A and B are shown apart, each in its own frame.
Chain A
Amino acid sequence: MSTERRVVVTGLGATTPLGGTITETWDAILAGRSGARTLTADWVEKYELPVTFAASIHTSPEEVLTKVECRRMDPSAQYAMVASREAWADAGSPEVDPERFMVAIGTGIGGVHTLLAQWDNLREKGVRRVFPLAVPMLMPNTSSGNVSLALGARAGAHTAVSACASGAESMALAVDQIRLGRADIVVAGGTEAAIHPLPFAGFTQMQALSTRNDDPQHASRPYDTGRDGFVMGEGAAVIVLESEEHARARGARIYAELAAAGMSSDAHHITAPEPEGAGASRAMREAVERAGLTPADIVHINAHATSTPVGDVAESNAIRRAFGDATDGMCVSGTKSMTGHLLGAAGALEGLFTILSVHHRIAPATINIEDMDPAIHLDVVRGEHRKLPQGDIAALNNSFGFGGHNVALTVKSI
């Protein structure tokens, strides 16, 4: 592995339930704030939805993008655009060879707002009222396509679609593409805008969402015995990845190294995690081994930890299975307790938190744990943030998705 090109992180951007930028979002994480709020949309009452809250976007893209950009992009692409522009500016808006510049932005659901709004137009007003841009707005690659267009990236525009692992898988794909020599610099991440009555109703019918309607801020509570499902979120998170030589040559600020990814699929059940965590643990081990590390080098895990009764325990088992006693040296954060679950953007946002944790040497506290579940055998950070050690450190980000997708990313200090 030592002959592989090192891939480093040089720019960060996000728009989330906690803030319109990554800085605002990270500050809210360190302040232990929840992004969950009661939904004000009329459809909640109209369809008598059993869940009345979500972690909806903090800053509307309409405050950031032009009116025309908003008209021509699905909300999922609007979020991706906001986060990508921030990340690109954070990387210094470098002059790069367009044919060595790539985009990889994943999504779980794609342009669902557009799809269903245009279906309504067709049924209620007829074919001439269907927006001519309906198809390019609803397709899942609408975000990677629009971002490549806006930034002028011509080495390829890719879209990983693996439900809630999409954002992490896009980052994994970006690392591979740089190592294969197909690009020098990649804008990579995930986006999701699915707080729409249909996907929302689908999740409620699956009984996947928390129903703590009277107390949204305390609804996302990974590892607590009172957890009763995830809180739906939305937003986008994007990073700029470069080969180390490319970053050094232009004197870029480097946050951390995205050292490796591990990926696997469960082939067990379309939604339920494999209870022993065999697939998830393989992904985690692969991520550590491909980074040229051992489990003892990993000091922190940003866990998938969605706050579902089954999922959190399955992940805990999978971590133990992967790393054995070395697990005791890894402090674990469940940041969905604050952000909610951003679905196809979750892995990207948590990948970004993992990068910031390594960069700032701080593991954020998981909020809302009042009664720790005894079935969780992990050193969960709660109450106060945990300082991470000085010297060379590494951390892991876990992301899993419906379909049995498992992705783990290894971040190393630089």
Chain B
Amino acid sequence: MAQSEQEILAGLAEIVNEETGLDPESVQSDKAFTDDLDIDSLSMMTIVVNAEEKFGVRIPDDEVKNLRTVGDAVSFIQSSQS
């Protein structure tokens, strides 16, 4: 049961906020996790694991380095769900 892009983005923003305290509004598709949102690799691990649980998908460690922007993550989650 795939979710819409908007639903995934909102869910991801919630996870990022929980982990980093960043305003969910700042978590937009075009933002890069490292360069724009200043999220380090340890926080990224937690975000990934929480996203796996929330969206019922598996995000392999090898894949994480390809998820440069929030949009990359949203697309990966959406394609994994379908």
Q: Which residues of B contact A129 (CB under 8 A)?
A: 49
Main secondary structure of the interface of B (DSSP, over half): helix
Interface string of B39-75 (1 = CB under 8 A from A): 0001101100100100000000000000000000000
Q: Which residues of A contact B46 (CB under 8 A)?
A: 131-133
Q: How many residues of A contact B (CB 8 A)?
A: 9
Q: Which residues of A contact B49 (CB under 8 A)?
A: 128-129
B20 lies within 8 A of chain A by Cβ: yes
Q: How large is the interface on B (under 10, 10 to 19, 20 to 34, 35 or more residues)?
A: 10 to 19
Q: Which residues of B contact A68 (CB under 8 A)?
A: 19-21
B18 lies within 8 A of chain A by Cβ: yes
Contact B19 A71, beta carbon cutoff 8 Å: yes
A40 lies within 8 A of chain B by Cβ: no
User: In the assembled complex, how far is the CB of residue A12 from the closest CB belonging to chain B, in whole angstroms?
Assistant: 29
Q: Which residues of A contact B43 (CB under 8 A)?
A: 132
| The 8 nearest A-B residue pairs measured at CB | A68-B21, A132-B45, A132-B42, A128-B49, A132-B46, A66-B21, A133-B42, A68-B20
Q: How far is the CA of A132 from the CA of B45 in the complex (A)?
A: 7
Q: Which residues of B contact A66 (CB under 8 A)?
A: 21
A269 lies within 8 A of chain B by Cβ: no
Q: How far is the CA of A131 from the CA of B46 in the complex (A)?
A: 7
Contact B18 A67, beta carbon cutoff 8 Å: yes
- Chain A residues 191-208 with CB under 8 Å of chain B are none
User: In the assembled complex, how far is the CB of residue B44 from the closest CB belonging to chain A, in whole angstroms?
Assistant: 9
Q: Which residues of A contact B19 (CB under 8 A)?
A: 68, 71
Of the A-B pairs whose beta carbons lie under 8 Å apart in the complex, a sample of 18, sorted by A's number, is A66-B21, A67-B18, A67-B21, A68-B19, A68-B20, A68-B21, A71-B18, A71-B19, A128-B49, A128-B52, A129-B49, A131-B46, A132-B42, A132-B43, A132-B45, A132-B46, A133-B42, A133-B46
Residue of A nearest to B43 (CB): A132
Given contacts A66-B21, A68-B19, A71-B19, 9 further A-B contacts (CB under 8 A): A67-B21, A68-B20, A68-B21, A71-B18, A128-B49, A128-B52, A131-B46, A132-B45, A133-B42
Residue of A nearest to B52 (CB): A128
- Chain B residues 12-40 with CB under 8 Å of chain A are 18-21
- Chain A residues 46-94 with CB under 8 Å of chain B are 66-68, 71
User: In the assembled complex, how far is the CB of residue A131 from the closest CB belonging to chain B, in whole angstroms?
Assistant: 7
Q: How far is the CA of A68 from the CA of B21 in the complex (A)?
A: 6
Q: How far is the CA of A128 from the CA of B61 in the complex (A)?
A: 10
Residue of B nearest to A69 (CB): B21
User: In the assembled complex, how far is the CB of residue A21 from the closest CB belonging to chain B, in whole angstroms?
Assistant: 24
Q: How far is the CA of A132 from the CA of B49 in the complex (A)?
A: 10
Q: Which residues of B contact A128 (CB under 8 A)?
A: 49, 52
Residue of B nearest to A129 (CB): B49
Q: How far is the CA of A67 from the CA of B14 in the complex (A)?
A: 13
Q: How far is the CA of A34 from the CA of B18 in the complex (A)?
A: 36
Q: How far is the CA of A133 from the CA of B40 in the complex (A)?
A: 12
Q: How far is the CA of A66 from the CA of B23 in the complex (A)?
A: 13
Q: Which residues of B contact A67 (CB under 8 A)?
A: 18, 21
User: In the assembled complex, how far is the CB of residue A194 from the closest CB belonging to chain B, in whole angstroms?
Assistant: 25
User: In the assembled complex, how far is the CB of residue B35 from the closest CB belonging to chain A, in whole angstroms?
Assistant: 20
Q: How far is the CA of A71 from the CA of B45 in the complex (A)?
A: 14
User: In the assembled complex, how far is the CB of residue B55 from the closest CB belonging to chain A, in whole angstroms?
Assistant: 14
Q: How far is the CA of A383 from the CA of B43 in the complex (A)?
A: 54
User: In the assembled complex, how far is the CB of residue B15 from the closest CB belonging to chain A, in whole angstroms?
Assistant: 12
Q: How far is the CA of A128 from the CA of B19 in the complex (A)?
A: 16
Q: Which residues of A contact B20 (CB under 8 A)?
A: 68
User: In the assembled complex, how far is the CB of residue A263 from the closest CB belonging to chain B, in whole angstroms?
Assistant: 37
Q: Which residues of A contact B45 (CB under 8 A)?
A: 132
Q: Which residues of B contact A132 (CB under 8 A)?
A: 42-43, 45-46
